[in-house]
Amino acid sequence: MPSPLLSIDLSTSYGSIAVVCGEEVGFEASFQSERSHNARLFAPLQEALAAAGPELAGVVVGDGPGSYTGVRIAMAAAQGVALSRDVWCVGWSSLTAPDVDMGFNYRVIGDARRQSFYLAEVKDGRLMPGIETVSPEIAHQRCQNDPHWLTFDPQAPLGLAQVIQVRPCAVRLAQIVASLPKAELAELIARPLIPHYLAEAFITKPKRSLGIA
pLDDT digits (tens, 9 = 90+) for 60-73: 999 999 888 899 99
CA separation (Å) from 164 to 15, 21, 105, 110? Answer: 19, 29, 14, 11
The pLDDT assigned to 1 comes to 72
- The set of residues, in sequence order, having a beta carbon less than 8 Å from that of 105 and lying 6+ positions away, is 122, 123, 124, 148
Cα angle: 10, vertex 146, 164; to 5 degrees: 35
- Check pLDDT > 50 for residue 210: no
- Check pLDDT > 90 for residue 3: yes
What tens digit of pLDDT does each residue of 110-154 get?
999 889 999 999 999 899 998 999 999 999 999 987 878 999 999
Q: Is 138 exposed, middle or buried, given 0-12, 13-18 or 19+ CB atoms closer than 10 A?
A: middle
- The set of residues, in sequence order, having a beta carbon less than 8 Å from that of 188 and lying 6+ positions away, is 90, 92, 177, 180
CATH number assigned to the domain covering 5-96+168-190:
3.30.420.40
Q: Rounded to an integer, what distance in angstroms lies between the CA atom of residue 208 and that of residue 50? A: 49
Pairing mode, if any, of strands 14-21 and 5-9?
antiparallel
Closest by Cα among 81, 61, 79, 80 to 10: 61
Helix (H) / strand (E) element for 209: namely none
Domain ranges, ordered by start, for the chain: 5-96+168-190, 106-165
The pLDDT assigned to 178 comes to 96
C-beta separation of 167 from 102 below 8 A: no
Q: Which residue has the higher pLDDT, 189 or 69?
A: 189
The pLDDT assigned to 37 comes to 67
User: Average pLDDT of the chain?
Assistant: 90
Helix (H) / strand (E) element for 133: namely strand 132-134
- Check pLDDT > 70 for residue 203: no
